[in-house]
Amino acid sequence: MTTRLYSHDIFLDHITPPGHPERPDRIKAVWEALADEVFDPLDRLDAPEGDPETIRYAHPEDHIERVIAQIPETGIARVDADTCASPKSYEVALHAIGAANAAVDDVFAQTVSNVFVAARPPGHHAEKTTAMGFCLFNTAAIAARHAQRAHGAERIAIVDWDVHHGNGTQDIFWDDPTVLYCSTHQMPLYPGTGAKDETGEHGTIRNAPLRPHDTGDQFREAFKDRILTAINDFRPDLLIISAGFDAHHRDPLAEINLVEDDFDWATGKLMDAAGRHCDNRVVSLLEGGYDLKGLASSTAAHVKRLMQG
């Protein structure tokens, strides 16, 4: 078996204003990095369009209708100060959701070792009823619910190493004992959530905030002490990674100083945990990462490690 990669040209069609950090060039940078011959063994598939009904796994109808109503016929619309929509944005988001759900199907069918989904827009800031932080719908949350509904998974772990706290994923699963949400992130930083004492109604939220200018040493210590221990206690049936690469030292939106080896190391540790608890079922979803060089090299390190599974 090998690692599967889902992506699609449609991910270029979510258009943001000039100078916006979440831009189509991000996905191009990932494609260019994964064009290296070392990635020839990847099983590459086009991201399928998702079933709109699956959005309801994580978001109520009024949120979905509100997002659709803000899709413009032409040009670019502002959903909030940071978040934009263009004419194809809903269709683009459906392909991101479809790819994530297909990835879940793949690892439960054991047709591949694991899956990386190179999609945009990201999703982890989208709360139950609020699109924000470049995110319209919470792809990781929808994929977790899909695993439960389609495959009978009892416990899902979502590990989020994006430099910004995934307030949306935390919001959706705050009172859900069946989903463990773990996050490393810079604090203070947008969106202002993610303190250690935010633990959810059932203790299934585990935050590991980092300080500005922390390096891989502090990241790895937090990861071992708070994230890996929580996963081992929870024993998930599936591990979903919200793989943001904006904690890289080159990234302009934060002040954490990770390097490619840190993402390689974290990927390996999560794969080890998945081997112990959930038959190696790992689905990784691209979140942030806004310096193109840092995004490309970090994604390459992450996927290369996935391919060793």
pLDDT digits (tens, 9 = 90+) for 265-274: 999 999 999 9
What does the alpha-carbon distance between residue 88 and residue 72 come to, in Å, rounded to a whole number? Answer: 9
Which pair of tokens denotes residue 35?
């064009």
Q: Is 146 a catalytic residue?
A: no
CATH number of the domain that residue 102 is part of: 3.40.800.20
Q: At what angle do helices 139-151 and 89-109 cross, to 10 degrees?
A: 40
What does the alpha-carbon distance between residue 257 and residue 301 come to, in Å, rounded to a whole number? Answer: 16
What does the buried/exposed string (b/e) look like for 39-58 if buried means 16 or more CB atoms within 10 Å of the residue's CB? beebeebebebbeeebbebb
Which band of pLDDT confidence, cut at 50, 70 and 90, is reported for residue 309?
confident
Whether 1 shows a pLDDT value over 90: the answer reads: no
Q: Among positive and negative, which fits the CA dihedral 292, 67, 139, 181?
A: positive
Give the chain's domain count: 1
For residue range 173-197, what is the model confidence (pLDDT) as tens digits?
A: 999 999 999 999 999 999 999 999 9
Which residue range forms the structural domain that includes residue 114?
Answer: 3-306
Overall average pLDDT of the 103-109 stretch: 98
* Predicted model pTM: 0.98
Q: Which of 14, 95, 124, 125 is catalytic?
A: 125
What is the residue type of 223? F
Which band of pLDDT confidence, cut at 50, 70 and 90, is reported for residue 45?
very high
The separation between the first and the last C-alpha atoms of the chain, rounded to the nearest angstrom, is 9
